[in-house]
Structure 1
Amino acid sequence: MSTLRATGRLPGARWAPSPNFGPRPEGAPISLLVVHNISLPPGQFGGPEIEDFFCNRLDHRAHPYFREIEGMQVSAHALIRRDGELVQFVSLLDRAWHAGRSSFRGEQECNDFSIGIELEGTDDLAYTEAQYRRLADTGELIMTAWPAITPERMTGHCDIAPGRKTDPGPAFDWSHFRGLLADRRTEGECD
């Protein structure tokens, strides 16, 4: 069994534990990776607000938008910042609260069987190369630990909650990401 599968902790990630998680249902296989985006305040990057939000520490008086999300308790398994830094909030073995009401190929409640990764960004602003590379590296580790997750079982929040969510948005280049994943898979076969 891989270390990742045993511990649920991503190597190289800074640990920032969120209280917003729970156990996965008994026997639920981890079989989906969901890509999201987030920026707090909207369109602004680099501050502590995303971590504060996922850890229930956000000062809702600090920005008018924060009043709209006051009381929400959400999380993701991990966040990839604009510079490629990986921050982990919830063990991959646990159920993070990232997908909400959702469905993937007829399977309901995606939080039960998915891993959620947030990219610091917006739907319409290009993501950084550092983010794509970190996401591909992380995706490869996750696919190795949980082989039920394949490139075909990596999707956007918009795809599992259409009409309700739009992220990671049109700015996310799925073919570039999948190309980086394929490169890593090919490199692994040559080792």
Structure 2
Amino acid sequence: MRPPLSIRECPSPNYGDRRGAVPSLIVLHYTAMGSAAAAIARLCDPACEVSAHYVIDRDGDVTRLVADEHRAWHAGAGAWLNVTDVNSHSLGIELDNPGDAPFPEAQMLSLEALLSDLRDHWRIGPEGVIGHSDCAPGRKSDPGTHFDWARLERAGHAQPAVAGVGSSPDMERFLMAARTCGWTAEATPEDILTAVRLRHRRGATGPLGTEDMKVVGL
């Protein structure tokens, strides 16, 4: 049995009302800044008008900026499944990472512990744990190509790809299947393909292929 997760409090003024919603999604981000302290300072600056519920630094230390009951300003425009106001329906977790580096073990362990607590409390299934790139394809790419989604899937904290047979590439069919899987935000076909690959085919490039069809169930 793991010890309770220690969370430091650093309240941000950047939040609002959830507009009647409760958290059903958890959105993972990277900070793309030099340090967790710099990210926290920005997320607590009222002039920046951005925030998140939690920041996890590279040593695994967790800081809460916004209470779960409030609406943090982390996701912006986008959608996932039938949710079009992602901020009102989600919890945002920022991972201290420049965007081009692996995520340290201590950080991933704290993320898994935090996900366990949040998912238990808010009854969020693994399908509700997504990346910023999932709900805002083309506009955002975090948590990026270095994030280990397969690890979260093995731990039960993220939904695995829908295993298809690997049909012949067909962009129209691919886009319809991707929407069914959750990628409902307005974006170009190329951006949807990139978002699916960031989640299920890290490092994949080139035109739509049979492996892309497979991970959306085709």
1:180 aligns with 2:155: yes
CA distance in 2, matches of 1:163, 1:22: 26
Q: Which residue of 2 aligns with 1:5?
A: none
2:87 aligned counterpart, secondary structure: helix
1:109 aligns with 2:102: no
Q: Tell me if the contact between 1:137 and 1:181 (Cα under 8 Å) persists in the aligned partners.
A: no
Q: CA RMSD in A?
A: 1.7
Structure 1 position 31, deviation (Å): 0.4
Q: Deviations over 1:69-109 (max 9, x none)?
A: xx431000000000000001000110000000110113101
Please list, as runs of the form range in 1=range in 2, the aligned pairs for 1:96-175 lying within 5 A after superposition: 96-147=72-123, 149-175=124-150
Q: Deviations over 1:158-191 (max 9, x none)?
A: 0000110000001000011232346xxxxxxxxx
2:50 aligned counterpart, secondary structure: coil
Q: Which residue of 1 aligns with 2:60?
A: 84
Query: Which structure has the higher relative contact order (CA within 8 Å, separation 6+)?
Result: 1
CA distance in 2, matches of 1:108, 1:122: 28
CA distance in 2, matches of 1:93, 1:121: 26
More strand by share: 1
Q: Tell me if the contact between 2:59 and 2:104 (Cα under 8 Å) persists in the aligned partners.
A: yes
Please list, as runs of the form range in 1=range in 2, the aligned pairs for 1:4-153 lying within 5 A after superposition: 12-26=6-20, 28-40=21-33, 44-45=34-35, 48-56=37-45, 71-147=47-123, 149-153=124-128
* Amino acid in structure 1 at the alignment position of 2:54: A
1:33 aligned counterpart, secondary structure: strand
Structure 1 position 12, deviation (Å): 1.6
What is the identity percentage for the equivalent residue pairs of Structure 1 and Structure 2? Answer: 37
1:134 aligned counterpart, secondary structure: helix
1:107 aligned counterpart, secondary structure: coil
Q: Is the radius of gyration larger for structure 1 or structure 2?
A: 2
Query: For structure 1, which runs of at least 5 residues remain unmatched after alignment?
Result: 1-9, 58-70, 183-191
Query: For structure 2, which runs of at least 5 residues remain unmatched after alignment?
Result: 158-218
- Give 4+ residue runs of structure 1 displaced > 4 Å after superposition: none
